[in-house]
Amino acid sequence: MYNLPANSGHSRGRGRGSKRNEEMNRGLTPQLGGQSGQSPVPQQSRPVEPEPSGSQEGADGGAGDARGSVRGRRVITEVVPSRPRGMTTKLGTSGRKVIVTTNYFRLLKRQNWTLYQYCVDFCPEIDNTRLRRGLLSEHRALLGGYIFDGSALFCTTKFEERPGSSYALELLTKNRAGENIHIRIKLVATVEAVDNQQFQVLNLILRRAMEGLKLQLVSRNLFDPKAKIVLDKFNLELWPGYQTSIRGHESDILLCADITHKVMRNDTLYHVLSKVIRESDDFQSAFKREVIGSIVLTDYNNRTYRIDDVDFAVSPLSTFNSKNGDISFVEYYKKRYNIVIRDIKQPLLVSRPTEKNMRGGENQLILLIPELARATGLTDNMRANFQLMKAMSEHTRLAPDRRIDRLRVFHQRLQKSPESMEVLKSWDIKLDSELVEVTGRVLPHEKIVFGNEIRYVCDSHTDWTNEFRKNSMYKCVDIKRWYVITPRRNVREAQEFVKLCIRVANGMRMHIAEPRYDEMPDERNGNYSQSIDNAVSKDPQIIMLVLRSPNEEKYSCIKKRACVDRPVPSQVVTLRTIAPRPDRASGLMSIATKVVIQMNAKIMGAPWIIELPLRGLMTVGFDVCHSSKDKNKSYGALVATMDMKLSTRYYSSVTEHLKGQELSNQMSVKMTCALKAYRELHGTLPERILFFRDGVSDGQLFQVVNTEIKFLKEHLDQIYKSAGKDDGCRMAFIVVSKRINTRYFVNKRNPEPGTVVDDIITLPERYDFFLVSQSVRQGTVSPTSYNVIQDNMGLNVDKLQILSYKMTHMYYNWSGTCRVPAVCQYAHKLAFLVAESIHRAPSAGLENQLYFL
Catalytic center residues = 623, 694
Three-state DSSP string of 551-573: CHHHHHHHHHHHHHHCCCCEEEE
The answer for residues whose C-beta is within 8 angstroms of residue 620's C-beta and 6 or more apart is 638, 639, 640, 641, 671, 674, 689, 690, 691, 692, 823
Q: What is the DSSP letter of 750?
A: P
Q: Rounded to an integer, what is the distance from CA 84 to the centroid of its chain?
A: 28
Q: Name the 3-class secondary structure at 618.
A: strand
Give yes or no for a contact between 105 and 435, defined as CB atoms under 8 angstroms apart.
yes
Assign 507 to helix, strand or coil: helix
> ∠269-273-279 over CA atoms, to 5°?
140
Distance, CA of 760 to CA of 90 (rounded, Å)? 11
Is residue 44 within 8 A of residue 126, CB to CB? The reply is: no
E strands, 450-533, are 455-457, 482-487, 516-520
Question: Is 14 exposed, middle or buried (CB count within 10 Å of its CB: 0-12, 13-18, 19+)?
Answer: middle
Find, among 124, 126, 122, the residue nearest to 139 by Cα.
122
Q: Following CA atoms 788, 790, 794, 796 in sequence, which dihedral angle do they give, to the nearest 10 degrees?
A: 20
CB atoms near residue 532 (< 10 Å):
24
- HEC states along 13-26? ECCCCCCCCCCCCC
With a CB cutoff of 8 Å and minimum separation 6, the contacts of 667 are: 622, 636, 638, 708, 711, 712
Task: Provide the pairing of β-strand 146-148 with 609-610.
Answer: unpaired
In angstroms, the CA 604 to CA 443 distance is 30
d(CA 331, CA 336): 8
How far apart are the C-alpha atoms of 814 and 736, rounded to whole Å? 20
